[in-house]
């Protein structure tokens, strides 16, 4: 790892604190914006999570409009419609309030406000040529980490494919972490988004493109998630647990923005595009199976992950200790009632050839710690379908 040249870039300003979203207006005003487009979904709006934020915009005389058409696994069409909405209202900054879908949609809109063509033309790395409008992100889940990443993931409904657009221009200008906004999260969303963050941290830590910097963020995120996710799930109203989960999710985002991810995301994005399965749940269900596949390639890192997740590895061999990391993930899934196979998520093996092809198209396969061929993707999907870790 240390022999590979690496760089570290994280230009996003992060503000964290209980109730800090009520200062959103003055922070955006300080960026020089005058007309803000709020990008969110109908659930966030119905839960009144925008109230304090909107009040803060009005307090500093910032004009705003709300675009609340964001859906899970957001589509290119949603970004096209949002861009038209933004241009009609002449907004000069984009404020995302919600989960990863809202933040990813906001990024796409901010890019297309200033760049020609269609968002689908920007798939891949470094294709955005013109700086987007300022992006401000307020996550209401802990979660995707998209508030500090250089990517957005979009679904092409015509091909049922989730594609990634990656550019240093996609780092938000400002991320505002307010744990008070996560207190109303249903248990299921707490579990799904928390396991998404854990997957980010684990895949980043073991990535071939990892660096000492990204790994430091990643392993601390693993530790904080291990200590706080199930507490957030079972208690829900403890603001300290919620804040630590928000920070851990952000740190995992910082990590994978530097290192990319791995086979879990390569496959789960495919499931989202084809079956519209929620991203976090797909990651959680796949994670033990990809970890078992990857274990021979990175046992030392898995041992570190086991310790970070609170496992006692005293007296164990490196391989035995590494296996404890998989055990810990399975225990977390089971505790939070996440399916232990992907069949229960609605995956169909009838579409296996497309699932393999689309998974191999992901750049995440290239940085997965274990060399991966199409037959390996097939094996992982089949084993995960039946919930069997044997012979992986």
- SS3 of 124, please? strand
List where CATH 3.40.50.1970 sits in the chain: 13-182
How do strand 63-67 and strand 35-39 relate by DSSP bridges?
parallel
| DSSP at 311 | -
Distances in whole angstroms, Cα of residue 370 to Cα of each of 294, 297, 344: 5, 5, 27
Phi, psi for 98 (deg, rounded to 5): 150, -160
Model-level pTM? 0.95
CA 93/CA 133 separation, integer angstroms = 5
In this predicted structure, what is the pLDDT of residue 276? 87
CA distance 144 to 225: 13
**Count of other CB atoms within 10 angstroms of residue 19:** 12
Per-residue pLDDT of the chain (392 residues), as tens digits, is 456 788 899 999 999 999 999 999 999 999 999 999 999 999 999 999 999 999 999 999 999 999 999 998 899 999 999 999 999 999 999 999 999 999 999 999 999 999 999 999 999 899 999 999 999 999 999 989 999 999 999 989 888 888 889 999 999 999 999 999 999 899 999 999 999 999 999 999 999 999 999 999 999 999 999 999 999 999 999 999 999 999 999 999 999 999 999 999 999 999 988 898 889 999 999 999 999 999 999 999 999 999 999 999 999 999 999 999 999 999 999 999 999 999 999 999 999 999 999 999 999 999 999 999 999 999 999 999 999 998 88
pLDDT of amino acid 273: 86
Domain with CATH 1.20.1090.10 in the chain: 187-386
Which of the four CATH numbers 1.20.1090.10, 1.20.1050.10, 1.10.486.10, 1.10.3720.10 does domain 187-386 have?
Answer: 1.20.1090.10
Q: What is the pLDDT of residue 2?
A: 53
* Residue 35: Cβ within 10 Å count: 14
Q: How far apart are CA 230 and CA 308, in angstroms?
A: 15
Domain 13-182 carries which CATH code? 3.40.50.1970
Query: What CA–CA distances, in Å, run from 159 to 71, 120, 154, 202, 357?
Result: 18, 11, 12, 30, 12
Instruction: Give me the pLDDT at residue 159, please.
Output: 86
């Amino acid at each position: 790892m240390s022999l590979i040249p690496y760089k570290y870039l994280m230009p996003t300003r992060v503000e964290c604190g209980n109730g800090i979203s009520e200062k959103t207006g003055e922070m955006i005003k300080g960026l020089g914006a005058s007309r803000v487009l709020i990008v969110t979904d109908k659930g966030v709006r119905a839960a009144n999570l925008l109230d304090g934020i909107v009040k803060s915009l009005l307090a500093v005389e910032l004009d705003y409009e709300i675009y609340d058409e964001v859906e899970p696994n957001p589509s290119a069409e949603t970004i096209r419609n949002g861009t038209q909405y933004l241009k009609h209202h002449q907004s000069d900054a984009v404020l995302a309030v919600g989960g990863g879908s809202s933040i990813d949609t906001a990024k796409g809109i901010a890019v297309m406000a200033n760049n020609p063509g269609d968002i689908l033309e920007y798939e891949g790395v470094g294709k955005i040529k013109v700086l987007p409008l300022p992006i401000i992100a307020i996550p209401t889940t802990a979660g995707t980490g998209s508030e500090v990443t250089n990517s957005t993931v979009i679904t092409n409904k015509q091909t049922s494919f989730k594609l990634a657009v990656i550019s240093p221009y996609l780092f938000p200008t400002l991320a505002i972490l307010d744990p008070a906004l996560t207190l109303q999260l249903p248990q299921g969303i707490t579990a799904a988004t928390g396991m998404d963050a854990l997957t980010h941290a684990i895949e980043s830590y073991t990535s071939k493109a990892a660096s000492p910097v990204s790994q430091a963020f990643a392993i601390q995120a693993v530790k904080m998630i291990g200590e706080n996710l199930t507490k957030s799930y079972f208690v829900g109203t403890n603001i300290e647990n919620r804040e630590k989960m928000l920070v851990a999710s952000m740190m995992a985002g910082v990590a994978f923005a530097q290192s990319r991810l791995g086979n879990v995301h390569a496959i789960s994005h495919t499931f989202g595009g084809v079956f519209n399965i929620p991203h976090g749940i797909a990651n959680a269900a796949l994670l033990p199976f990809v970890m078992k596949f990857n274990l021979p390639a990175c046992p030392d890192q898995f041992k570190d992950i086991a310790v970070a997740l609170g496992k006692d590895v005293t007296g164990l061999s490196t391989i035995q200790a590494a296996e404890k990391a998989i055990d810990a993930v399975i225990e977390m899934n089971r505790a939070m009632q996440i399916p232990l196979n992907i069949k229960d998520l609605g995956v169909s093996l009838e579409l296996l050839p497309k699932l393999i092809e689309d998974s191999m198209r992901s750049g995440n396969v290239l940085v997965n710690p274990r060399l991966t061929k199409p037959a390996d993707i097939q094996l992982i999907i089949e084993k995960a379908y039946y919930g069997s870790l044997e012979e992986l």
